[in-house]
Each structure stands twice: as structure tokens, then as C-alpha cells.
Amino acid sequence: MQRSPRTNDRSGVAEVLEGVGEAPAVTNRSRDELLDSEGCAAVPGAAARLPLSSRSSGGDCVAPGDVGLRVEDVQYRWADTAAGKKRFKAVITPLHEAFHRDVVEPYLSQWRQYIYRLSVSMLTRAREHAVHERRRLNTLNYGDLLNVTARVLRENAHVRRALQQKYSFLFVDEFQDTDPVQAEIVFLLAADERNGKSGRGRTDWRKLPLRPGALFVVGDPKQSIYRFRRADIEIYNVVHDRFSDPATGRVLPLTLNFRSRPKLCQWANKVFETRFPAKPTPHSPRYAPLDPNPEDADQGHARKAGAGGVFTLTHTCDDASEVLAENADRIARYIRTEVDAGRRKFSDFLILTRKKAARIVPYAAALEVLNVPIEVSGAGAFGESAEVETLRTLLRSLADPQDALALVAVLRGPLFGASDRELFAYRQNGGWFSIFAQESRGARLEPESASGARIVETALATLHQYYRWTRVLPAASALDRILEHSGYLALAATTAGGVEAGDLLHALDRVRQVIEEGGSLADAGDALAEDAEETSEVESLPLEPGRTDVVRIMNLHKAKGLEADVVFLADPCGGFNPRVDVHISRTGATSQGWFPVVKKSERSYNSKVLGEHADWPAHKAAELPYLEHEQDRLLYVAATRARQVLVVSRWSGNAKAPAWGVLNDFLVDAPELRVPTKVHVAQPVAADCSSAVQAEALATREVAHARLREATWSITSVTAEARHVAKMVRQSEAAAPSSRRDALQPSQT
């Protein structure tokens, strides 16, 4: 967009002011003062007929895109006295508002609709191209498999009936987490078409009759929390309505809670009877109280739960960062004390946060300080890992040795840690940023060269060795040797939970997959880059998944279906602010979706709207109740994970928007959790890393490798094998007892 031409037509200003809307009379002097010293009026192209002027605090005329300029931004120029500014504000504010309403907003609305149409057209073609490419390469993803299966069942009656005969009964658990495509597959398999006609016509799964007793589903609509991946409560309501018809099935309510102790059930009932309606709505299920298991009173472990219930961890710090650190420290001290006293095991504890990534790391670090074993999940996406980014940059550098930018990034990264000062010193001493720098120079830098330059030279020599490994060894083997030589994998394994080391091993598997398919190191780097850009996150995995006696740390969405004796609702800083990114409307078998096209800020969570549908405000308003009610269900999941003790963290600094929402309103009678101020932690015994121990370990490894390298096979020929078999038969017969040889002789008559 270009700036609109400037105008000095002062008489035109009067026409603008009179034409925009009703306003108090404006004197000639006030009209002149509405212009800047040059009489400049810069406005968007669509509104060029309105030569209204305003200037930013920097003194530049407003560009076409800067339509959000406020009247207050230029108030200080209007008059020298407060009374004069007030008088001008009374005149200009209505005009400014009318200008926005009648010119700016209509223009922006049409422009955003135009951008939206272009974006949707482009994305539609891109989606079709991506589907075609996956089919061509025979690399269907999980979504493709679901959609192809549903289409085959929907459009091919012969296939559908064959599978209906094969799978007589279907049992679906956690049905509230089922998306529309999965639900369609289940209902098509359970359909009753024994008396139907064959054909290839399309079939609506919502209308097909079901075979008696063929489908049994279990689900809790109060735990429907995955609307962001289309597993929303609407699908559950559709199925519930079908089963409510006596001609189709029955709905059996299950309210008995076998997990939580009576105190926790009673508290949860008190909280959520105010959040769920008495009758179900399209956005929310009805309230159903939790009935505690009456057998708990007769069980031995119930005595252990006598001190159970709901507790709080209250913080009064001023700074949010201090709250997070203090909360993590207090939780870690409590867990360490309980385990040391023999009252609980590490596996009895579960720590939940509202958000992932940076919110989880402080808790993992605090626990590791006290030597508490942990398992972290939901800490962030695999593609966002700094360790994977480092490996990706290294692959680019080794694949293209002439890429000086990638090479410098590797030198400055964690593999070598060269500073800008050291890189500059190397360049000033005649160095060349290339893996082959040493070969081209024919000699090392002079001894009197700066130490920083020698550090960079050593790093380049190491990279040259890495480059040679990638040329003489299989790519995966070369990367294994590089990570072992650099110690980067060992370094990643020292972080909280070992998630970073798990990411590196995951990345190595990804590289192996690309290489086995005929790709190069550059292709492997591109594949890792694509993983980082995936909208559906590839989740990080811990270094040792499946360990049992560990404290589990995860975000709330990862915790559904899990339980623990003691559950901490941690991270009291982050509240909930619903943001509508997409709205999907389903009518029968047809679905339609709308979304805004936004540009996200790299420095904050703010975003700028670039395009949107003409009816997006209405669709946004329709989606908002779904998100707000889903937050209640998220809190319900959080409040029902504990068997014995639930600890809710809270901070006085965000009382208006607490992280755990409505739960905070029911903590008045909850006692504060008693946490010891100091915890004695036995220092781990330092490992013996002496030269003798290392030599012994190396010798042991070599012996093991030699044993593995011993051949367990031999080469032979068919003739030699036949002779060997014949020889073995003769030896066996010669060794047989005489009575047996006599028995084998033919009888003489």
C-alpha cells in the first residue's frame, strides 16, 4: 500500500468536518489547527476523498495501515491550555469516531474479506496438493488413514458389510474423546444392513440402524476437553440422543466414583453443581454428582486417607517469577519429606500445570535439586526443542560446507560455544569460515595468535573431522559418533526429566528414516525443519519412558485418564483468557468452518488480524460459549485426579483471574499444606572417573564388542553339506547298540 497524496486544501477540511457527521461548529482557526504545519493530510486510499490530517508523536504523517491512531496521540498539539484542549476534544472526538465508523471500519472490513478469500483459496489448493503428494509417496498420515477408512466404509456397501460380519461387537471407551470421523467409522461398523440392498451410494452414519447389542460406548461428557482437535461435546450429544431413543439403545448413568475419597467427592460436588446446568445444553452436560464408593470405609487404605482432602499452597510474592520458583520449591520439599519419612513413594505424586513448556521446567528443576526422580510429559513440542534445532543446524553445515551462515551458527551454538569476540579474533588473524579452512591455509595460525582465534580454529578442525565421518560412514552411524565425541547427548541427559536427550534420540530416528528412504543429510535437516513447523505437535518424550517410581509432571490436557494419591495443581500464575481461533458448524453430514487469518507477534502473544469472513464476529460469538464451558470441564478433570489429597496452589497477586478459576472460590475451609522449611538431602556419591577406571571400562567394552563381532554363521556348499550329513549318519549308526543294529537288519528266512 502506498501513502495517499498530501493535500494543502484547507477549504476541503471544512467540507470534511461538515460531511462526516453532526458536530459543533468549527471556527476557521480550529480548522487550521487540525492540520499540521505543512497542511498534510495522509489517509488510506479508499478514504482519500477525506483530507483529514493527524500526526504521530514522531512527526510523520500517518501511513494507510496506521488507522488505529487515537485522538489522544495528538492532543498535546491542539492548544496550549487545558481548557483549549478540552474544547477541541469535544469537537474532534465525535468526528474521529464517525470517521472510524463510516470510513475506516468499512474499508478494513472489505479488505479483510478480500484477504480471507485469497487465503482460503490458497490453503485449499495447498491442502489438495499435500494430499496428492502423500498419496504419490505412499506416506499417509493418521488423519489420512481415518478419512480413507471412513470414505471406503461410507461409499462401498460390500466392504462395509464384510467388516460388519467380521466385527460383531464393538466396545468404545472414553467416547467423549472421539472425533466425528472416528465416530462415523464406529457407527458404520455397528450398522444393521442385513436386509438392505447392495450398492455404492453414500451413507449417513447418523441415520443407519444399529445391530442389537453390537455397540457399547462409555464416556463422561464432563471430561470432554479436546475441542481443539474436533473431539468436542457436540459429537457426544449426537450419539447420546441416538442411544436415548428406546428403538436404538439405552443410556445408563454411572455416578459411583472408585477413585477419590469421600472428602474429595463431596468437595467436587459442591464446586461443580454451580458450574454444570441441571439439564444438558449444546455447550455443557448436565450436573451429575459423584457418589463415593461405600466400600472405602471397610478398606485398610482408607485409614491412610483419614488426613486426606483438599489443601492449599498460598503465595504472597509480588513478582510472578518468584511465585513460580517458590511454588516449585515448596512442592519439591514436601515430596522429598514424605518419601524420606516412608509415608509415600515417588509414584504417589502427580504435578499438573495449566500450561506447558516454560511452566513445567521450574518444577522439574526443583525436584532434581532434591534428587527426586521425575518423568516429564507435555513439556513442549519436539520441533521446538533447542537440542533438535542445534542438530538441524549441524546437518545443514555438514551437508553444505559452503554455507558460512550455518557454519557460524554451529560455532556459536552449544556444540562449541564460540563467542562473537572469538569469532572476530579468528577473522582478524586471517581465518576463513570454512570446514576446509585448515587445508586451504596449509598450516595452523601463528603461535602468537589470540587464544580466541585458536579456539575457533580447533572447532573448525573438529567440524572437518565430523564432515569426514559423514562421508565414510553411514549417516546415522556418523551422527552417533558425533554426538558421542561432542558429549552433547550426555549433556542433554543431565537436564530435568531427560526430555532434551529424548528429543535428540527421536531426531536421530527421524534422520535414519530419511536416509533409509534415499534422502541426504540436507533432506534430513529439511525433515526436522518440517517437524518444527507442523501445526499438529510432535510431542517430546522422556529419555526413559515407562519408569514407575517417579514423580510425574505434565500439563492438564495430558492428565486425563490418570490418577495419583496426591495431586498438585501447580503454577498459580497463569489464568484463562478464551481466544477463538476457529469455529466449526455441523449440519447433518456437512461441516463448515471459519477462522481469522492473523499474524502473530514474535515478541508477545498479541496478533494482528489480516483477514476474516464477513460473518466472523457472529461465528466468534457462537464459538465462545463452547470454550468457556470447556474450561469448566478442564477444572473438573483437574479436581478429580486425586485419590486422597488434592493441593491447589494460589497466588494473591492474581485473585481476579486465578489460574485454577472457580476452584479458588471453594478453598475458604481448606487448610494450608504444612511444608518443612528445610530438607536434608544426601549428596550423591561422586563417580570414580579416574584414568584407571576409564581404561577398565574401555577394555570391558572392547571385549563385549569383540564377542558381538564373532561370526555366528559359516559359508558352505550344497555338496559339502550333503557329505557332512552322510558322515553324521554313519557315525550315528556306528555308535548305536548292537541289539538296535540287529533289530534294523531284515529277517532271514
Looking at 533, 556, 572, which one is the last position of a domain? 533
Q: Clarify whether residues 308 and 396 are in a common domain.
A: no
Identify the CATH number of the domain in which residue 342 sits.
3.40.50.300
Q: Is 467 domain-assigned?
A: yes
Domain residues for the domain of 242 are 142-254
Looking at 498, 533, 568, which one is the last position of a domain? 533
> Residue 618: its pLDDT value, please?
95
Three-class SS of residue 245? coil
Q: Is 241 domain-assigned?
A: yes
Q: Clarify whether residues 405 and 503 are in a common domain.
A: yes
> Residue 722: its pLDDT value, please?
87
Q: Clarify whether residues 386 and 521 are in a common domain.
A: yes
What are the CA-CA distances from residue 711 to residues 703, 706, 720 (Å)? 15, 10, 20
Q: Is 674 domain-assigned?
A: no
> Residue 560: its pLDDT value, please?
82
What the block records as the C-alpha cell of 177 is: 474423546
The number of C-alpha atoms within 13 Å of 140 and in the hemisphere containing its C-beta is 9
Q: Clarify whether residues 373 and 391 are in a common domain.
A: no
Q: Is 592 domain-assigned?
A: yes
Mean pLDDT by groups of 10 residues along the chain of 749 residues: 38 33 36 37 37 37 44 63 82 88 92 95 94 87 91 91 93 93 94 65 78 93 90 90 90 90 93 93 93 69 60 89 91 95 94 79 86 75 75 90 89 90 86 74 50 83 92 87 88 72 84 85 84 59 75 87 93 81 85 91 80 94 94 94 95 83 90 91 76 89 87 85 86 69 48
Cα 269–chain centre separation: 31
> Residue 505: its pLDDT value, please?
85
Q: Clarify whether residues 395 and 507 are in a common domain.
A: yes
Q: Clarify whether residues 557 and 495 are in a common domain.
A: no
Identify the CATH number of the domain in which residue 417 sits.
1.10.486.10
Q: Is 707 domain-assigned?
A: no
Number of domains in the chain: 4
Q: Clarify whether residues 397 and 517 are in a common domain.
A: yes
Q: Clarify whether residues 372 and 386 are in a common domain.
A: no
Please, are residues 211 and 164 in contact by the beta-carbon 8 Å criterion?
yes
Please, are residues 328 and 365 in contact by the beta-carbon 8 Å criterion?
yes
Distance CA 413, CA 629 (A): 45
Exposed, middle or buried, 304 (CB in 10 Å: 0-12/13-18/19+)?
middle
- Residue 404 amino acid letter: A
Q: Is 267 domain-assigned?
A: no
Q: Pairing state of beta strands 349-353 and 564-569? A: parallel
Q: Clarify whether residues 521 and 510 are in a common domain.
A: yes
Distance CA 498, CA 472 (A): 31
> Residue 446: its pLDDT value, please?
52
Q: Clarify whether residues 393 and 529 are in a common domain.
A: yes
Helix-strand-coil split of the chain, %, nearest 5: 50, 10, 40
| Alpha helices in 534-669, H assignment, sequence order | 616-639
Please, are residues 256 and 293 in contact by the beta-carbon 8 Å criterion?
yes
> Residue 386: its pLDDT value, please?
81
Q: Is 62 domain-assigned?
A: yes
576: nearest Cα among 496, 515, 656: 656
Looking at 648, 666, 684, which one is the last position of a domain? 666
Q: Clarify whether residues 149 and 43 are in a common domain.
A: no
Q: Per this entry, what is the length of the chain?
A: 749
Q: Clarify whether residues 387 and 526 are in a common domain.
A: yes
Q: Is 406 domain-assigned?
A: yes
217: nearest Cα among 174, 166, 165: 174
